[in-house]
Amino acid sequence: MEVPLWLALLAVGYLGVKLTRPPAWLIAVLLLGGFLLADSVLAPAINTFVK
């Protein structure tokens, strides 16, 4: 069974928020931080760790 990555991330994110109930500012900081890091000079270094 193949599940698209976006669907798996959505399910894990939903369950994580439902079960651990992190504050909304923490979710916003993580999302914004990931978005900003993806377009920074650190992106090639992060890409090597992700692959």
pLDDT digits (tens, 9 = 90+) for 7-51: 998 999 999 999 999 999 999 999 898 888 888 888 888 888 877
Q: Is the dihedral of CA 37, 41, 47, 50 positive or negative?
A: negative
Please tell me the predicted confidence (pLDDT) of residue 38. 82
Give dist(CA 18, CA 33) in Å, integer.
Answer: 21
Please tell me the predicted confidence (pLDDT) of residue 2. 92
Q: What is the tally of structural domains in the chain?
A: 1
Taking every pair of C-alpha atoms in the chain, what is the biggest distance, in angstroms?
Answer: 37
Taking the whole predicted model, whether its pTM rises above 0.85 is answered as no
Please tell me the predicted confidence (pLDDT) of residue 4. 92
Domain residues for 34?
5-50
